Every structure is written in C-alpha cells, then in structure tokens.
Structure 1
Amino acid sequence: MEYDGNAPGVRELAELTINKVSVGQGDNNCYLLRCRSTNEQLLIDAAAEPQTLLELCGHRLTAVVTTHRHWDHWQRALAEVVAATGARTYAGEPDVEGIDVATDVALTDGDIVRFGAVELRVIRLTGHTPGSVALLYDDPAGHPHLFTGDSLFPGGVGNTFGDAEAFDSLLSDVEGKVFDALPDDTWVYPGHGRDTTLGAERPMLPQWRVRGW
C-alpha cells in the first residue's frame, strides 16, 4: 500500500517498516514497527479493536508503548494484545498509575527502547498528560521519524483542557525538545489524523503561543 500520511498504510525504511492503522470510534492511530533484520515488532498505542491489531502483528510482539494515559489509547485493546502476545509494556513514568494494565518499564526522558536492531529515543512532553512521551527513530539512512501521541498534531500541540500552565509546559517542551533539536524533514506521526513534518509546522509556532492552545 502506498504511504501518503493521510490514510492507513505502510512505509518501508532501510531498517524499519512502519505500518499505520486507525482503530476505534476516535480514529486512534496505532503504529506497528518491524525491525527488518530480525522481524521483531513494537506497537505504539494498543488503542482499540484488539483483533485488528493482533492480525496486523501476526500475534507476535516484543513490546507495546503507550504514549499517554488517556483511556482511548489503551483501554479497549492493551490488555488483550499483551495477553495474546506476551509483549513487554512501556509508558511514561508519571502516567503509569493511570493505566490499568501493568507497565513493565516506566519511561523517563532520554531512555532508549530497543527491539531487534532498532532503537527509539524517548522524549518526554509534559502537558497533555504529565507523562506523555514521544518516540524518535533517527533513521541512519534518511530523516528522523517522530511518534508524538497526542502531544503534537498538524496545526498545534495537544489539548491541555484550558490549563494555561499545562499549555506552556507542553509548548515549551515541543519547542525545545522537538523543533529546536530536529530538522524540518522530521516526519511526525500523531495519535489521531494525518501525518505532518516539522518543516510544515515550524512557521506556526509563534501563532500557537499567542492563541494559547
């Protein structure tokens, strides 16, 4: 399937395959990452439709990373997917208590999640939830790929529910840890909807700060 960043599809990189599927009434994006040298697989956000996800991964998973504690990203599929595959579970440390499925590894900023020959770097983005994390794959044969959960979308940062302090924290983290650290050709994979790039979003950063959401 051709990958255009809008509909679900597959992107083939030199060392990694990325499969995007939308599940549930909230159109949650789930991302299945497969190491091409070992075939080990990692799932980002087991949100809903467990049978869809299990068929996608062939009932084989090394790990599941939950990007944040909001129920729509784990409640309808995580327990069943983990029970069927024995996958190791990961989530941001401050969000662990809000996820009813046991977390094997509590993630902090700068941690590395490994599966097969692939490494993902954890970027803590505080604001949408206290423990939201993004995962960075720095493709050695191309540009970076960033899985942002609900912390960064086309057109703005994630919802901070009218909390000005949380908004300032999230936007400051996104500016400092993402836009200041990564190039414009970084591909952004959000928790809902279409993909984007940092280059497409960078000119709007001042507008986001002024509008406050």
Structure 2
Amino acid sequence: MTSGTYTGDVEVGGPADVRQLPGLTISKVAVSEMANNAYLLRDTETGEALLVDAAAEPETLRALIGDADVRTVVTTHGHWDHHRALPEVVAATGATTVAHPADAGDLPVPVQRPVEHGDTVTVGRQTLEVVHLRGHTPGSIALVWRGPEDAGTHVFTGDSLFPGGVGNTQQDPERFARLIDDVEQRLFGALPDDTWVYPGHGKDTTIGAERPHLGGWRERGW
C-alpha cells in the first residue's frame, strides 16, 4: 500500500496531512475547538474532488480545497460540529450536498442527494460505497473506497468508529447495541484488516488494529 510519509496525525491550526495513493489523493485537516477532521478526496486522473464533513473554519477548508474541482460534499452525520462550514463551502464550490435522509433535517442546507446503505458516490473515476451505521445518530454513514492496484481499502467513519471504540451513544443500551452490531457486521465483517480508518476526530487507525477489541467494547457497553 502506498503511504509515503502520511501519518494522519493533524492538529488544529496546523497543516494538512496529504496521502498520495494510486487513483486518489487524500488530504486531512483538523478544524475547530472540537478538533474535527475534514477530508478532501481528489481523483488524480480527472482532478474532481469530494469533501467529507465541512465541519468548521470555512477559510481553512477553502485553503484545503485550493484549485480542486469539488463536486460533492458528504456529511457523515447531523451533529452540529460536522457541518458548520457547509453553507460557505457549498456557496464557494457549488458542490452537491450528500447525506443520509435520517439526518438531513439537522443540516443547515438542503440535502440534494440523499443516500442509503449500499449506494455509491463518485469522485471522478473513483467510487465510494455508502455504509449506514445506526446508533451515534440515526443517519450516520461511512464511506468505503476500495482502491486500485496496491492502494488498499480505506474507510471514512465519521463519529461511528474511532481508535479504541465506537461513537458516543449517550449510555443508551439500545443505541449502543445498534451501533456495535452495525460496525461489526458492516465494517469489521466486510473489510480486510489492512483497511485504513479515517475518523471524524483524532488519529487514524486500521480495522486490524481494532478488531481484537470488539468483544471488550461490547462487554463495557460503550
């Protein structure tokens, strides 16, 4: 898998970390007092781009975008800290807004393209698979990119999966059960261990690094 010097460790106010992969360039930046991660995905052949979570700091995000041809902004879920810059980014780029319909009402702009589990979103010639992960919010989604050649598999998980556990379910046992079931079946059950995980906050991880801990997460209930 091509990785170069990419680590995924970014700080608010610091530079983006950029990963060049066959077919896709991924740029990660942290914004806001919540240290949200935003990801710019750019198809290397066409130059078309997609932004995952226009979380905050529109000027920072516009600098991240630069001259990229952003056609799409995907919001992983409806929590306020993940879409505060969405109106400004959409106004600047004319991008199509994408989110799950269950969370669409929480966004500050209309969702032009609602997506369900199993749908796909394209960025240039690259395809992202939509995975619906219920529990953190009703409409949380992840995006899976299965790269060509030696690029590997990559998943953008929003706030549904982090290093060390699943997303916050406010100590609601039903929401936790729903989320851990979806994460286990739809991510760990479907993706190889070397899949790189890009979460909505903090450092990256891999499916393989987290897989041994699934039972422990279930046992502790969060």
Tell me if both proteins adopt one fold, taking TM over 0.5 as the criterion.
Answer: yes
- CA displacement 1:131-165 (0-9 Å, x = unmatched): 00000000122320000000000000000011110
Aligned with residue 58 of structure 2, among 50, 70, 94: 50
Aligned to 1:5: 8
**What are the equivalent positions in structure 2 for 1:151-162 lying under 5 Å apart?**
151-162=160-171
- TM-score w.r.t. the length of structure 1 is 0.97
Aligned to 1:148: 157
Measured in 2, the distance between the counterparts of 1:143 and 1:129 equals: 28
Aligned to 1:183: 192
* 1:118 partnered with 2:126: yes
What's the secondary structure of 1:203's corresponding residue?
Answer: helix
Task: Say how many residue pairs are matched.
Answer: 212
Aligned to 1:107: 115
Counting aligned pairs with the same residue, the percent is: 57
Task: Structure 2: give runs of 5+ residues left out of the alignment.
Answer: 11-15
Measured in 1, the distance between the counterparts of 2:35 and 2:131 equals: 24
Aligned with residue 27 of structure 2, among 2, 7, 19: 19
Aligned to 1:74: 83
**What are the equivalent positions in structure 2 for 1:79-90 lying under 5 Å apart?**
79-90=87-98
Structure 1 runs of 4+ with >6 Å offset: none
Task: Structure 1: give runs of 5+ residues left out of the alignment.
Answer: none
Amino acid aligned to 2:191? L
- CA displacement 1:59-90 (0-9 Å, x = unmatched): 64100000000000002x10000001100000
Two-structure CA RMSD over aligned residues (Å): 1.0
What's the secondary structure of 1:20's corresponding residue?
Answer: strand
- TM-score w.r.t. the length of structure 2 is 0.93
Offset, 1:100: 2.1
Aligned to 2:13: none
Offset, 1:93: 1.4
Measured in 2, the distance between the counterparts of 1:174 and 1:56 equals: 30
